[in-house]
Structure 1
Amino acid sequence: MKIAIHGRFFGDTYNALVYAKRNSPDLDALFFTGIGNDDISKTMVSQWRKEGICSSFTLMSDKHTIGIYAISTDDKGERSFSYWRKNSAATQMMVMKPVKTLIETCPAVDCVFFSGISFAILSDLDKALLIEFIQGLSDKGIKIAFDPNYRSAMWQSKEHAIHWLEKAYSVSDIILPGEEDHQALFNHNGHSEIAQYCQRFNVQEIVIKCGEKGTFVYFENEFVVHLPFEPAPIQVDSTAAGDSFAGTYLSQRITNNDIALSLNQAAKVAGLVVQHRGAIMPTALYNQVINEI
């Protein structure tokens, strides 16, 4: 008996990169991660190329392959996750090459985006190496963006998550925290509490996602704009809502659009994504409807 299992390739930083590239097709989009040297990894890279994503800075392992996770959605489109990531190639990415080599060979880019999930899959020693790598890129003048994307099941404890998320905040220029994440970790309520806390880390731009209260942005310690929440006509699947928001917002900012315009475009794309199943909308459908928003 033969069983064919059909899946899709996605993950939070990959999803963000796809939507960044779709929003600004002229951007060079590179994905730093670890993959295997097997057929499924090669198939995944082929899919990246179809999305215009370059694998030239992706690390390859002969001993490991890609991680797997499953998403279930309820009747309201909310999701739950199951993970099979232990010893995946991505968990080994910080030990495949010395950090100094990674910093020296990283292509010239304008912005690097990483997430709390990027952190959570790594050992603590490798988390420290990732911070060292990110700091080295920041020292080269590259803008750093970070989304906490907190998943409690992926951390040893709240204290463990807080320790490393604060490390990430301290090396970032732009952060995209959610009120829900900060409520769970710090018992923060409202954008002003979150902003006050984040400003301790000298973050230049803070984009705070507060659910039905909308999104609030602070720039250089000043509140600059609030975008009210506008629900999608229907919510089929909330997978990649935050990822598509982050990717679109960052692509807009990288191409020198102002905060209000970037925020508005990001929110509209996220509202579009939740009306369709899966993290990555079909390219043709995205291109068809994007000009309408």
Structure 2
Amino acid sequence: MEKGGVASVGECMLELSGGSGGNWRMGHAGDTFNTLWAMRALTPESVAADYVSAFGDDPFSAEQRKFFADHGIGTAASPVIQGRRPGLYAITLDGAERSFTYWRADSAARCLADDPKALEKTLENQVLVYFSGITLAILEEPARKTLIAALEAARKGGSRIAFDPNYRPRLWTSPEAARAAVDAALAVSDIALPTFPDEAELYDDPNPAAAVRRLAQAGVSEIAIKNGAGATFLSAGGREASIPAIVVADPVDTTGAGDSFNGAYLASRLAGDEPERAVRRGHNVAAAVIQVHGALAPFSVLREAFARA
């Protein structure tokens, strides 16, 4: 990675967690940011890591950008939008399983593709660009097309593009709209990191092998399909493998597990590891993340887990 860095495109929200007794902790999280957080922890400091989004002009947005900077994460040319603010979500837990309540109608991140030239400039010359189906879902149709065009330009310039479809039905007007957007995203992606239940819901795939065939037909050359506590189904370099996940007997909080898997997988591949080792490292990191509260595990926890594979 002699030049360029890694960039993740999407929405980082304010996260409220641990609300027992009415006492909530506030943090910063969102699927693509959680993945970048893991990549930042697991790649050399010399590799730039940028979160590409749009931010508000309020105190919470300023605090968010400071939080990024304090942890070695930049924001490239992401705009600051007057009158906008971060989205907000609260996590409620039933045991270790979580559910979410969102407030995001006027989120600044919905404006991340409003300046096509700035977006394309931000993404060019990156070693890796990562985005998700949630990134697509928060944008209006013209902005989605702008983002896909910028990703295609970055790919033509030599960047690798990684994508997690991360289907969330509530964010879409219809399954048909979601499929059209995801199909367009797959057409510009080198690496796909979906979760099988999402693929089954959106595309009616009967099993991970069927999902792999569909993704390969879409032109994706490297595919790792997560399946919760089940095995990850890997297809890369003409080889397929089913790699068991690590079973954690008493998970604390499953928030961010799949995102952290993605970050560890991508960091491993950027380090030159073969895909099989990248999956094992992803499983190690995901297992560590579900043993702490919140979406963002400390860097030390992520690094220790990553080093074990």
Contact 2:264–2:306 (Cα < 8 Å) also in 1: no
Contact 1:32–1:59 (Cα < 8 Å) also in 2: no
Runs of 5+ consecutive residues of structure 2 not aligned to the other structure: 1-21
Q: Which amino acid aligns with 2:181?
A: W
Give the drift of 1:65.
1.2
Q: Deviations over 1:81-119 (max 9, x none)?
A: 111111211001111x2x234323545310000001111
Give the drift of 1:158.
1.2
Q: Partner residue of 2:68?
A: 48
SS across alignment from 2:261 = helix
Q: Which amino acid aligns with 1:163?
A: A
Runs of 4 or more consecutive aligned structure 1 residues displaced over 6 Å after TM superposition: none
* TM-score (normalised: structure 1): 0.92
Query: 1:262 and 2:278 equivalent?
Result: yes
Instruction: Give the superposed CA RMSD.
Output: 2.0
Q: Partner residue of 2:188?
A: 171
Q: Which amino acid aligns with 2:92?
A: S
Which residue of 234, 244, 256 corresponds with 1:240? 256
Q: Partner residue of 1:9?
A: 28
Give the drift of 1:227.
0.9
Query: 1:126 and 2:143 equivalent?
Result: yes
Q: Which amino acid aligns with 1:55?
A: T
Q: Which amino acid aligns with 2:36?
A: L
Which residue of 180, 191, 199 corresponds with 2:216? 199
* TM-score (normalised: structure 2): 0.87
Q: Which amino acid aligns with 1:149?
A: N
1:15-26 matches, within 5 Å, as 15-26=34-45
Runs of 5+ consecutive residues of structure 1 not aligned to the other structure: none
CA spacing shift, 1:256–1:217, aligned 2, 3 Å: same
Contact 1:66–1:89 (Cα < 8 Å) also in 2: yes
Contact 1:239–1:279 (Cα < 8 Å) also in 2: yes
Paired-residue identity, %:
31
Aligned residues: 287
**C-alpha distance in structure 2 between counterparts of 1:223 and 1:36, whole Å:** 45
1:1-293 matches, within 5 Å, as 6-26=25-45, 27-75=47-95, 77-95=96-114, 97=115, 99-106=116-123, 108-220=125-237, 222-286=238-302, 291=307
SS across alignment from 2:130 = strand
Give the drift of 1:242.
0.5
